[in-house]
């Protein structure tokens, strides 16, 4: 289990399957190179591994389900719930399919743990995709730190694994801090085309490939 796969597990809703992966996550941590990202992740995992399931679920829900600043759905920060977001989600799904990753679970394709799965499976394409969300990830890190959430450690580790913000990205981040997500457009639901909305079955990542859809 690589570092991005570890982060994908840590940022999922902690159901029993996620909790059962704790031992594998700990083993994966041992293979990470020493450095600030590993230190931040170790600090978070020491807390995460010790929590009872019900408490972990309560804290996760309070952290990610009730604050727009800490949504795990990355395109929300650019589009809110406007119709344009549906087109962005469709492009993401097509990008995954081109890389050999078929999404069959309940999450939308911009859900951060899903994006991190793609990075783990297809490092080059996934890394380029993650870089597109660099200011969003920094905004999430800042919001989690301000809320004194334990998950700030996971986002700190992720940001430390990425290149520093460019001047352009800093400007984009400053604008998001000032304005927040765009307002919802009333009466335009559903905001996503039907082909974007995932079925309810489980997700099975396929090996990375360079085939086209």
* 3-state SS assignment for residue 73: strand
Is residue 192 assigned to a domain? no
Measured over the CA atoms of residue 138, residue 172, residue 110 and residue 72, the dihedral's sign is positive
Which residues span the domain enclosing 11?
3-179
Give the SS3 label for residue 111: strand
pTM: 0.81
In a domain? residue 188 = no
How far, in Å, CA of 30 to CA of 8, rounded?
Answer: 17
Does any domain span residue 120? yes
**Inside any domain, residue 168:** yes
Q: How many residues does the chain have?
A: 213
Q: What is the pLDDT of residues 134-180, one digit of tens each?
A: 999 999 999 999 999 999 999 999 999 999 999 999 999 998 888 77
In a domain, 151, yes or no: yes
Does a structural domain hold residue 212?
no
Sign of CA dihedral 24, 102, 7, 151: negative
User: Using an 8 Å Cβ cutoff, are 33 and 42 in contact?
Assistant: no
Residues whose CB falls within 8 Å of the CB of residue 187, separated by 6 or more in sequence, listed in order: none
What H or E segment, with its residue span, contains residue 2?
none
Nearest to 135 by CA among 179, 162, 165, 113: 165
What tokens were used for 144?
């989690």
In a domain, 204, yes or no: no
Predicted pLDDT of residue 88: 87
3-state secondary structure of 144: helix
**113, part of any domain:** yes
Could you give the number of structural domains in the chain?
1
pLDDT (0 to 100) of residue 194:
40
Q: Which two tokens stand for residue 49?
A: 């591994």
Q: Which residues of the chain have pLDDT under 50?
A: 185-207, 209-213
What is the pLDDT at residue 193? 38
**Rounded alpha-carbon distances, angstroms, from residue 62 to 49, 53, 67:** 18, 14, 8
């Amino acid at each position: 289990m690589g570092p991005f796969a570890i982060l994908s597990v840590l940022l999922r809703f902690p159901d029993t399957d996620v909790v059962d992966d704790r031992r594998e996550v700990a083993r994966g941590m041992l293979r990470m190179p020493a450095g600030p990202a590993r230190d931040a992740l170790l600090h978070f995992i020491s807390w995460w591994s010790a929590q009872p399931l019900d408490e972990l679920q309560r804290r996760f829900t309070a952290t990610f389900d009730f604050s727009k600043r800490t949504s795990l759905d990355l395109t929300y920060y650019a589009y809110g719930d406007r119709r344009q977001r549906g087109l962005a989600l469709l492009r993401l799904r097509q990008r995954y399919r081109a890389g050999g990753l078929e999404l069959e679970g309940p999450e939308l394709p911009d859900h951060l743990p899903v994006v991190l799965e793609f990075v783990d499976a297809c490092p080059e394409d996934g890394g380029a995709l993650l870089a597109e969300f660099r200011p969003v990830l920094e905004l999430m890190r800042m919001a989690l730190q301000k809320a004194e959430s334990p998950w700030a450690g996971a986002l700190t580790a992720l940001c430390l694994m990425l290149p520093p913000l460019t001047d352009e990205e800093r400007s984009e981040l400053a604008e998001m801090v000032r304005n927040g997500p765009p307002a919802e457009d009333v009466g335009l639901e559903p905001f996503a085309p039907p082909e974007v909305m995932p079925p309810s079955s489980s997700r099975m990542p396929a090996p990375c490939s360079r085939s086209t859809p």
